[in-house]
């Protein structure tokens, strides 16, 4: 093939990638696509609001902190800070926050390209970008205003620096920047600690010929990260926000099974959950890693084993699988990080195999063919999502807000697990009923209800008996409206209740009676379960 033909082919390929990447930036107000394999992920109901709540409150109500409510910003401040800046230009909206996430998605494509181009041919980098841009899984989650897109950007930026340290004029300064980036990773999403082995590998491997140099760079990066992270923690303590910082870890600690074999079962489910992402590409990643292990004594095998991008990607996948195993509570969005590094493994492995001889070359083109086949299927799937947007959640939130405004009932304040998400959409002031950062005067939800005196409560499909008991300490409930939204059969109706204060300001004691059932004065039609 002539040079001109190759250039035309690469230009056409780049345009295809850019076209599919651009699909991520349209219809930002639309629902998380309905009827996907990932429909039960909680992020589509809650996480966007939770991690943007500080920015939204600051612009809408003049304060970023709401005592007794869920305030994750002290533990993960980077994302809400950037959203706060964006809101100055756009106003508070869900689409603006999602636009920031999509901007990080674009950054991730660029950084992935440069990471693979450091030691690999152009076609492998473009193959990786094609797999990322056409993935329906990545389309769904890279458009949500959640923490993973930014975490990936910071991680890929740090890895790009790490593999280039030997060629830098001032590598010690580069190592210090890596330390700062790791602090930003931790302050974006605390699970970044499980990506530390990947960064360590990317620093050590290119400098392994001089262990003293590799250790020095690692120490510089570690010391810089310790100092910057320590500075943030000192500020958190000085501002009296340590309780809020700790609370994020408390709510993400799930009870572990008593069975001594539970880690093995959890590990299996963490691996098996990769099939949520892609039934071709994720298993193909395992094939590539197995080929590298078996052929480690061959030329192409050594090339993979000694490639810092390949090793760091495998370490990142393993680290996040370890996190999900320990958590024993995998969610589809957690695999966002796993998927990106699986794609890097496939691209790097396909390139190394295709450049080898005989049987290995055949395997390399076989891996490439499977990846291209998956991209074609995924491209059709993603295009369908992009061309058929639905707006049921936003419509439900706006109808709910209009109902509240048309039927005044005490304070225009609503309690709901999805309240922060609704605030992003309609600017309705809300409280979270699921998470309550304890304080001296608000140790629990009943106390918080007493302080804030909300007029409304919204639930999905059914009532949690524990939440009902908390509400019953001060209110009777009147179910007044229901709004269809989304596709989860357990959360496809947003149900609105009026909260009526008990007569003469009475406060019921949960120890005196069972408040988990409908009581006189209630009007509840949905199940309590």
Angle at 126 between CA 121 and CA 128, to 5 degrees: 105
Give the Cα separation of 386 and 140 in Å (integer): 10
356 pLDDT band (50/70/90 cuts)?
confident
Looking at the chain, how many residues does it have? 529
| Torsion from C-alpha of 306, 312, 313, 315, nearest 10 degrees | 110
Q: Is 396 exposed, middle or buried (0-12, 13-18, 19+ CB in 10 A)?
A: buried
Task: Name residue 454's beta-bridge partners.
Answer: 411
1 pLDDT band (50/70/90 cuts)?
low
Mean pLDDT of the chain: 94
Q: Quote the pLDDT of residue 253.
A: 85
The percent of residues above 70 in pLDDT, for the chain, comes to: 100
The percent of residues above 90 in pLDDT, for the chain, comes to: 81
315-339 per-position pLDDT tens digit: 999 999 999 999 888 889 999 999 9
The tokens describing 356, both together, are: 């080898």
151-183 per-position pLDDT tens digit: 999 999 999 999 999 999 899 999 999 999 999
510 pLDDT band (50/70/90 cuts)?
confident
413-470 per-position pLDDT tens digit: 999 999 999 999 999 999 999 999 988 889 999 999 999 999 999 999 999 999 999 9
68 pLDDT band (50/70/90 cuts)?
very high
Residue 202 near residue 181, CB atoms below 8 Å: no
Mean pLDDT of 118-138: 95
- Give the contacts of 352 (CB within 8 A, at least 6 positions apart): 292, 300, 303, 304, 307, 310, 364
Among 161-165, 354-358, 386-390, the range scoring the smallest mean pLDDT is: 354-358
Please give the C-alpha separations between residue 320 and each of 153, 186, 337, in angstroms, as whole numbers: 16, 14, 8
The tokens describing 475, both together, are: 């209110």
Mean pLDDT of 478-488: 95
Taking Cα atoms as reference points, which of 155, 100, 102 lies closest to residue 338? Answer: 155
Q: Quote the pLDDT of residue 505.
A: 83
Of residues 48 and 299, more confidence is placed in 48
pTM of the predicted model as reported, rounded to 2 decimal places: 0.96
In Å, how far from its chain's centre is CA 239?
Answer: 27
Residue 29 near residue 391, CB atoms below 8 Å: yes
> What ranges in 122-261 are assigned the alpha helix state H?
122-134, 136-142, 148-163, 171-186, 196-204, 211-238, 242-251
Give the Cα separation of 485 and 416 in Å (integer): 15
Helix (H) or strand (E) holding 102: helix 94-117
Q: Quote the pLDDT of residue 297.
A: 83
The tokens describing 266, both together, are: 């959890």
Query: Following DSSP, what letter does each residue of 462-525 receive, concatenated?
Result: SB-HHHHHHHHTTEEEEEEEEEEEEEETTEEEEEEEEEEEPGGG----TTTS--SS--TT-B--
Give the Cα separation of 444 and 466 in Å (integer): 12
Q: If DSSP codes are grouped into helix, strand and coil, which group holds residue 264?
A: helix
Residue 432 near residue 416, CB atoms below 8 Å: yes
The tokens describing 425, both together, are: 């959409």
Please give the C-alpha separations between residue 436 and each of 58, 248, 433, in angstroms, as whole numbers: 19, 11, 7
513 pLDDT band (50/70/90 cuts)?
confident
178-230 per-position pLDDT tens digit: 999 999 999 999 999 999 999 999 999 998 877 789 999 999 999 999 999 99
Q: Quote the pLDDT of residue 53.
A: 97
Among 243-247, 294-298, 501-505, 517-521, the range scoring the smallest mean pLDDT is: 294-298
């Amino acid at each position: 093939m002539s040079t001109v033909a190759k250039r035309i082919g690469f230009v056409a390929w780049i345009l295809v990638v850019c076209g599919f990447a651009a699909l991520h930036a349209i219809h930002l107000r639309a629902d998380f696509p309905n009827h996907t394999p990932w429909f039960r992920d909680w992020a589509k109901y809650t996480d966007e609001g939770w991690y943007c709540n500080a920015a939204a409150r600051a612009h809408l109500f003049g304060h970023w902190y709401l005592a007794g409510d869920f305030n994750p910003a002290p533990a993960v401040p980077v994302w809400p800070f950037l959203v706060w800046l964006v809101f100055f230009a756009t106003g508070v909206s869900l689409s603006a926050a999602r636009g920031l996430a999509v901007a990080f998605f674009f950054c991730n494509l660029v950084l992935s390209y440069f990471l693979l181009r450091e030691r690999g041919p152009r076609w492998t980098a473009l193959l990786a970008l094609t797999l990322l841009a056409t993935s329906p899984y990545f389309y769904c989650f890279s458009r949500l205003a959640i923490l993973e897109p930014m975490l990936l950007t910071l991680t890929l930026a740090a890895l790009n620096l790490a593999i280039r340290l030997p060629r830098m004029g001032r590598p010690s300064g580069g190592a210090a920047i890596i330390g700062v980036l790791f602090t930003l990773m931790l302050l974006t999403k605390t699970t970044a600690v499980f990506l530390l082995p990947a960064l360590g590998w990317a620093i050590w491997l290119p400098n392994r010929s001089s262990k003293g140099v590799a250790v020095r760079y690692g120490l510089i990066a570690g010391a810089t990260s310790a100092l910057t992270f320590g500075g943030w923690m000192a500020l958190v303590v000085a501002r009296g926000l340590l309780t809020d910082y700790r609370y994020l870890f408390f709510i993400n600690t799930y009870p572990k099974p008593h069975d001594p074999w539970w880690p093995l079962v959890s590990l299996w489910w963490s691996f098996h959950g990769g099939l949520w992402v892609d039934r071709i590409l994720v298993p193909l990643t395992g094939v590539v890693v197995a080929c590298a292990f078996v052929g480690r004594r061959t030329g192409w095998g050594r090339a993979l084993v000694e490639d810092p991008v390949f090793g760091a990607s495998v370490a990142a996948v393993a680290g996040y699988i370890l996190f999900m195993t320990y958590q024993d509570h995998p969610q589809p969005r957690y695999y966002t990080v796993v998927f990106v590094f699986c794609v890097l493994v496939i691209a790097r492995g396909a390139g190394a195999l295709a450049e080898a001889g005989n049987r290995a070359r055949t395997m390399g083109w076989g891996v490439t063919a499977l990846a291209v086949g998956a991209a074609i299927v995924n491209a059709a799937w993603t295009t369908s999502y992009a061309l058929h947007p639905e707006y049921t959640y936003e419509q439900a939130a706006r109808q709910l807000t209009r109902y509240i405004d048309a039927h005044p009932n005490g304070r225009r304040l609503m309690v709901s697990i999805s309240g922060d998400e609704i605030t992003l959409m309609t600017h309705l002031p809300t409280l979270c009923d699921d998470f309550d950062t304890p304080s001296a005067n608000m140790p629990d939800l009943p106390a918080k209800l007493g302080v804030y005196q909300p007029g409304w409560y919204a639930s999905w499909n059914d009532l949690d008996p524990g939440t009902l008991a908390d509400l019953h300490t001060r209110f009777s409930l009147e179910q007044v409206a229901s709004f269809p939204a989304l596709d989860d059969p357990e959360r496809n109706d947003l149900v609105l209740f009026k909260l009526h204060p008990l007569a003469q300001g009475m406060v019921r004691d949960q120890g005196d009676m069972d408040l988990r059932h409908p009581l006189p004065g209630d009007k509840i039609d949905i199940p309590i379960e």
